[in-house]
Chain A
């Protein structure tokens, strides 16, 4: 008996290792979710809840950026990108035990495509003109036909939560790994394990490994960091560089690489903006914009603001957006002499260290940015000194967000703006609304009835053409040409792409931080907690 004891122990231990992990994952979001309705999600906290409690037909793997089957075991795009057909997995249940079938998918699609209700979840799918058709082919197959082709159509379904058409629980009957359990506004949300979740691990055990997820609502980043270091939180999805350095890589801080986000500066080119006419003339001048881009020391911003954890930006797509970023384009090199020559050629001259335009106006303008963002405030200070080298006086004005949005989107009472763009999707269509000249989001000169410049007309053409082309091989040259125009005309001066900085507790297993949101818990069903909350699966 004594000789077999070690074997017996090993068997017992292996059995424990096979046991369900359990445990409760703790992390924080910065604000209360604006909505718990998955179709109405427009903010990041709500998106985190939606991600954990709903299921989608396909899922972008946040590490490889490949599109993987989820609720749909396969799909097919046809008719030049106008039709997409899904074949659903069998045996998938909603959290209330009801079965998923093609009617549920059709119901969801009709809801998001309904032009009357205009739910945000369908914004990127809903056509401007024409009526889409949803057809249930059989209980496991459903097809969507759009009036026009849509580029990257299948990937858009990564963000479409499938709802039940019949459940009494309505939106609460989810297909995600967790179900909504409790919400105390301002304090926390609690999600419990979905007992009917369809996924299993490669050993056939039901997922998720975690028993529950407790999401704290924590706006104070310092306290969030203290709680992480104490072990009260298991992950932090958005670290600033100071916190990253304080936590340190040894204690769980991780740099996942350049995000799809961009820090950018643009000038107000709205014709009827309430700013002096001579300043509008500067901002409309391509030479002026390019010169200022050449005056920006991007490397210093990377070093001093981001402590090396950012990448100088060449254009709208970060190096992480591999299929789309034009690697031939390089970030504008720091060249103050070149900038001065360019300005001189455009009629500017220096008098006693002050740059003046051809009419004798000293070049001075204000730069607005949002208050409370330390990185942006530091960046603005560096830009101020960079532009001073050219003899330009930059006045930095920090405003709270509503005041800032009012100025750049309503009254156009600003001269230059420094802001960031959050890249949530891989596809260039994510930025489509920013580049179409008629859009309200065409930040430097929105709502154009007709493109006011040749190059904006060209961008309109290129973006519309690529958005209605399903073949990525055909889209790529269009996107490359678009990037080249942006680089040459500099309507937006791209500064840096910050890295995705996260912190992951050593207790967290299977965490694979990504640059795409949600950065850490994107594979929540695979994540487990070790040491104290249960054994390793």
Chain B
């Protein structure tokens, strides 16, 4: 059972990497401004230099280009960033720990804050609106302003990531807990006079745990997605900043590598969530 599941997961992942990378290549190659460099407009440069800059763009056919990238990736060579003049492998090695640390910390912060607050609003109705207002406030503030505020508090991209993920975790987990209110066993426990906190913990939170864990998988993807603007705004030298710079300058090599990395993380996180949910179903059956 396990080996076949792992094999299935790996084959899905491989297919996802191939298709995802190719789609990224297509998107970037056909995006306006691909192969264009601002220095083409610099009158201080000679015609020859400007022509050389112009001709640096990718000239190979899309298929050949992708085949070369895949072949290189299989050998650990992800190409060279045209905007940073640095091997992508080195960029990934330098920046991945920064992002991993920020995402992990941001995620942990988001969950530590959001989940208990969501549970609290379910039990204590009086705090519902204030907490909801605080949650909505985080959604309504421009990310740039949040970045500056967090910088002032000494919390760079970590805080911005937490601020981006926490509202979603709060809302989803709160809805899951509210949905569990109508479950027969919960109604039964309430009818029997079980204390609200005991009902919350034993009959609502614990049974909802697999769904909440599945949400964890999604929140990893959300956190990674939030890391891109967060790092760009906070000037944190992580993968998110690299992705933003690469997108703005249409730098294909790092974009491909980051897409592959995001694909691995998304597939793994969501497979984890699906496995948890299906194991719960198996147990129930």
* Contact between A and B in the complex (any CB pair below 8 Å): yes
User: Is A257's beta carbon under 8 Å from chain B?
Assistant: no
Chain B proximity mask over A211-230: 1 for CB below 8 Å, otherwise 0: 00000111110110010000
| Contacting pair A187 B51 (CB below 8 A) | no
| Contacting pair A43 B39 (CB below 8 A) | yes
Q: How far is the CB of A494 from chain B (nearest CB, A)?
A: 15
Q: A184-B94, A223-B234, A405-B36 are in contact. Are A123 and B49 (CB under 8 A)?
A: yes
Interface centre among A118, A185, A409 (most CB of B within 10 A): A185
Chain A proximity mask over B203-219: 1 for CB below 8 Å, otherwise 0: 00000000000000000
User: Is A300's beta carbon under 8 Å from chain B?
Assistant: no
User: Is B249's beta carbon under 8 Å from chain A?
Assistant: yes
With both beta carbons as reference points, the residue of chain A lying nearest to B151 in the complex is identified as A223
| Contacting pair A34 B84 (CB below 8 A) | yes
| Contacting pair B46 A123 (CB below 8 A) | yes
| Contacting pair B46 A226 (CB below 8 A) | no
Enumerate chain B residues within 8 angstroms of A419, measured Cβ to Cβ.
Answer: 41
The complex places the Cα of A123 from the Cα of B51 at a distance, in Å, of 12
The complex places the Cα of A126 from the Cα of B47 at a distance, in Å, of 11
A residues 377-415 near B (Cβ < 8 Å) are 399-410
| Contacting pair A219 B232 (CB below 8 A) | yes
With both beta carbons as reference points, the residue of chain B lying nearest to A447 in the complex is identified as B47
The complex places the Cα of A409 from the Cα of B238 at a distance, in Å, of 33
Q: A222-B144, A405-B38, A409-B41 are in contact. Are A217 and B235 (CB under 8 A)?
A: yes
User: Is B42's beta carbon under 8 Å from chain A?
Assistant: yes
Q: A32-B84, A118-B52 are in contact. Are A223 and B33 (CB under 8 A)?
A: no
Q: How far is the CB of B242 from chain A (nearest CB, A)?
A: 7
| Contacting pair A405 B41 (CB below 8 A) | yes
User: Is A344's beta carbon under 8 Å from chain B?
Assistant: no
| Contacting pair B40 A220 (CB below 8 A) | no
Chain B proximity mask over A410-448: 1 for CB below 8 Å, otherwise 0: 100000000101001100001111100001110100000
The complex places the Cα of A186 from the Cα of B249 at a distance, in Å, of 15
With both beta carbons as reference points, the residue of chain B lying nearest to A405 in the complex is identified as B36
With both beta carbons as reference points, the residue of chain B lying nearest to A413 in the complex is identified as B32
| Contacting pair A401 B148 (CB below 8 A) | no
Enumerate chain B residues within 8 angstroms of A118, measured Cβ to Cβ.
Answer: 46, 48-49, 52
The complex places the Cα of A419 from the Cα of B43 at a distance, in Å, of 14
Report the interface size class on chain A: 35 or more
The complex places the Cα of A518 from the Cα of B241 at a distance, in Å, of 26
| Contacting pair A186 B95 (CB below 8 A) | yes
With both beta carbons as reference points, the residue of chain B lying nearest to A188 in the complex is identified as B237
| Contacting pair A401 B45 (CB below 8 A) | no
| Contacting pair A218 B85 (CB below 8 A) | no
User: Is B174's beta carbon under 8 Å from chain A?
Assistant: no
Q: How far is the CB of A461 from chain B (nearest CB, A)?
A: 18
User: Is B140's beta carbon under 8 Å from chain A?
Assistant: no
Q: How far is the CB of A317 from chain B (nearest CB, A)?
A: 14
Q: How far is the CB of A186 from chain B (nearest CB, A)?
A: 3
User: Is A323's beta carbon under 8 Å from chain B?
Assistant: no
| Contacting pair A120 B49 (CB below 8 A) | yes
| Contacting pair A186 B85 (CB below 8 A) | no
Chain B proximity mask over A109-130: 1 for CB below 8 Å, otherwise 0: 0000000001010011010000
The complex places the Cα of A42 from the Cα of B237 at a distance, in Å, of 23
Enumerate chain B residues within 8 angstroms of A440, measured Cβ to Cβ.
Answer: 40, 47, 50-51
Chain B proximity mask over A187-222: 1 for CB below 8 Å, otherwise 0: 100000000000000000000000000001111101
| Contacting pair B36 A430 (CB below 8 A) | no
| Contacting pair A402 B33 (CB below 8 A) | yes
Enumerate chain B residues within 8 angstroms of A42, measured Cβ to Cβ.
Answer: 39, 42, 45, 49, 53
User: Is A35's beta carbon under 8 Å from chain B?
Assistant: yes
User: Is B233's beta carbon under 8 Å from chain A?
Assistant: yes
User: Is B83's beta carbon under 8 Å from chain A?
Assistant: yes
Enumerate chain A residues within 8 angstroms of B85, measured Cβ to Cβ.
Answer: 34-35
| Contacting pair A186 B233 (CB below 8 A) | no
| Contacting pair A222 B148 (CB below 8 A) | yes
The complex places the Cα of A439 from the Cα of B41 at a distance, in Å, of 11
| Contacting pair A406 B43 (CB below 8 A) | no
Q: A32-B84, A123-B49, A187-B237 are in contact. Are A402 and B36 (CB under 8 A)?
A: yes
With both beta carbons as reference points, the residue of chain A lying nearest to B86 in the complex is identified as A185
Q: How far is the CB of B55 from chain A (nearest CB, A)?
A: 12
Enumerate chain A residues within 8 angstroms of B84, measured Cβ to Cβ.
Answer: 32, 34, 185
With both beta carbons as reference points, the residue of chain A lying nearest to B95 in the complex is identified as A186
Contact for B41 among A120, A124, A226, A441, CB less than 8 A: A441
B residues with a Cβ closer than 8 A to A are 32-34, 36-53, 83-86, 91, 94-95, 144, 147-148, 151-152, 232-238, 241-242, 245, 248-250
* Pairs across A and B, CB under 8 Å, 9 listed: A34-B83, A42-B39, A42-B45, A123-B48, A222-B148, A402-B32, A405-B40, A409-B36, A425-B44
10 shortest interchain CB distances as A-B pairs: A402-B33, A186-B237, A123-B46, A433-B43, A403-B32, A434-B43, A403-B33, A187-B237, A402-B36, A406-B36
Given A34-B85, A186-B236, A223-B148, output 4 extra A-B contacts at Cβ < 8 Å: A186-B235, A403-B32, A404-B33, A430-B44
